[in-house]
A and B are shown apart, each in its own frame.
Chain A
Amino acid sequence: MSRRGFPLLSLYYLGLLLLLYFPIGVLVLFSVNDGTTLAFPLRGLTVHWYQDMLGNRVLLNAVRNSALVALFSSLCATTLGSAAAIGVLRFDIRGKLAFVALALMPLLVPFLILGVALLILFAAFDIPRSLLTVAIGHTVVSLPYTLLIVMARLVGFPSNLEEAAEDLGASYAYTLRRVILPLIAPGMLAAWLVAFTVSFDEFVLTSFLIGRDPTLPVFIVGQLRFANRFPQVVALAIVVMLVSLTLVVIAEWVQRAGSAASLSRRASPAGAAAPVGLAAVQTGT
Chain B
Amino acid sequence: MSQFAVELERVTKRFEDFDAVREISLQIPQGEFFSLLGPSGCGKTTTLRMIAGFEQPSSGEIRLVGEPVQHLPPNRRNVNMVFQNYALFPHLSVFDNVAFSLQVRRRPVAEIKERVAAALSMTRLPGLERRKPNQLSGGQQQRVALARALVNRPAVLLLDEPLGALDQKLRKEMQLELKSLQREVGITFVYVTHDQEEALTMSDRIAVMHKGLVLQVDEPRRIYERPTTRFVADFIGTTNFLQGVLRSIHGELATVEVEGVGNLLAGSSPELAKGQAVTLAIRPERMSLKAQPAPANRLSGRVHEVIFIGDDTLYYVRTENGVQVMVREQNQAPLADDPGYQAGQTVTVEWSPMSTNVLVD
Contact = CB atoms under 8 A, between A and B. Distances in A.
User: Lowest 8 CB-CB distances: which A-B pairs, in order?
Assistant: A168-B101, A164-B87, A169-B104, A262-B90, A160-B87, A166-B74, A170-B104, A166-B75
A263 B134 CA distance: 7
Given A174-B104, A262-B91, A167 B134 contact: no
B74 A163 contact: yes
Nearest to A258: B91
B73 interface: yes
Interface of A: 157-158, 160-161, 163-171, 174, 178-179, 182-183, 262-265
Interface in B123-154: 132, 134, 148-149, 152
Contact of A168 (B90, B132, B134, B152): B152
A15 to B, nearest CB: 43
Contacts of A160: 83, 85, 87
Nearest to B158: A167
B85 A158 contact: yes
Nearest to A159: B87
13 contacts: A160-B85, A164-B89, A166-B75, A167-B54, A167-B75, A167-B149, A168-B80, A168-B100, A169-B76, A169-B101, A170-B104, A262-B91, A262-B132
A183 B87 contact: no
B165 to A, nearest CB: 12
Contacts of B80: 167-168
B85 A264 contact: no
A interface: dominant SS: helix
Kindly name the residue among A158, A165, A168 whose own CB sees the greatest number of chain B CB atoms within 10 A: A168
A263 B83 contact: no
A169 B152 contact: yes
A22 B80 CA distance: 62
A183 to B, nearest CB: 6
A243 to B, nearest CB: 31
Contact of A183 (B88, B91, B100): B91
Contacts of B169: none
B91 A265 contact: no
A183 B90 contact: yes
B87 A169 contact: no
B90 A165 contact: no
Contact of B81 (A167, A178, A264): A167
Contacts of B100: 165, 168, 170, 178
Given A161-B90, A170-B75, A262-B132, 6 more contacts: A164-B87, A164-B89, A167-B81, A167-B149, A168-B101, A264-B134
B217 to A, nearest CB: 26
Contact of B75 (A161, A171, A178): A171
B52 interface: yes
A166 B73 contact: yes
